[in-house]
Chain A
Amino acid sequence: AQTVTQSQPEMSVQEAETVTLSCTYDTSESDYYLFWYKQPPSRQMILVIRQEAYKQQNATENRFSVNFQKAAKSFSLKISDSQLGDAAMYFCVTWGTGNQFYFGTGTSLTVIP
């Protein structure tokens, strides 16, 4: 079975600082996609950023960027200039075997004013 590991259950960051959330995954697929989703407290889950595995260039969306290391099967999320609204549970997600999406257990991010 495909697995996604987020080894940091909780993280905190000072407002305006930078934080990196880690994710490793296991897949037998050669072509796949990776995503980070954000789930604010009691709110809908929304897409933060996505990465195509065959692209070497790391994806960037405004203050969010990824460090994708395909050989190491690592997909970390960097949040720059952290804002209070970034506080949420962050899930690393892969699409793979069986046409399914696989979610990690999540990292709860606290932003300290």
Chain B
Amino acid sequence: DTGVSQNPRHKITKRGQNVTFRCDPISEHNRLYWYRQTLGQGPEFLTYFQNEAQLEKSRLLSDRFSAERPKGSFSTLEIQRTEQGDSAMYLCASSRKGRDQPQHFGDGTRLSIL
């Protein structure tokens, strides 16, 4: 169990640019989740995958956000035409299937928009 890995750890970009984050889950986990966390708040659910299928998307996820998990392993989260309000920590978590299964979180990618 090597843990959930997220890259990059930090991303600084100018408003209007596109950014892409990567998450490598624990290998035997078939569920993968993306969250956004702003300062002083709890993580907000964005989307989740079971294997390669994207099963749920939050209304928070505007059309500028897209997530993929092409082979059911790693996932990418892309934000197009970044805005000031996108500045946040983006967390990835993975788990086995089941509502009782705990999520294992990565260290997150901190996005700063200039």
- Taking Cβ atoms with an 8 Å cutoff, the residues of A that contact B are 4, 32-33, 35, 43-47, 50, 52, 91, 95, 98-106
Which chain B residues lie closer than 8 Å to A47 at the CB level? 102-103
Number of B residues whose C-beta is below 8 Å from A? 23
- The answer, yes or no, to whether B106 is at the interface (CB within 8 Å) is yes
> Roughly how many angstroms separate A83 CA and B102 CA in the complex, as a whole number?
24
Given A47-B103, A91-B43, list of 14 further CB < 8 A pairs? A32-B99, A46-B105, A50-B100, A52-B100, A99-B48, A100-B48, A100-B56, A100-B58, A101-B103, A103-B35, A103-B43, A103-B44, A105-B42, A106-B40
B91 within 8 A of A: yes
B44 to chain A: which residues have CB within 8 Å?
103
Q: Say yes or no: B33 contacts A101, CB within 8 Å.
A: yes
* Choice from A44, A50, A102 contacting B107 with Cβ under 8 Å: A44
Instruction: Specify the chain A residue showing the minimal Cβ separation from B55.
Output: A99
Contacting pair B42 A103 (CB below 8 A)? yes
**Main SS of the interface on chain B?**
loop
Q: Which residues of B contact A102 (CB under 8 A)?
A: 45
Complex: chain B residue closest to A96, CB-CB = B99
Most buried by B among A35, A44, A98: A44
Given that A44-B105, A44-B107, A105-B42 are contacting pairs, would A98 and B56 also be in contact in the complex, using a CB cutoff of 8 Å? yes
Q: Does B2 contact A (CB under 8 A)?
A: no
Chain B residue contacts of A32, Cβ below 8 A: 99
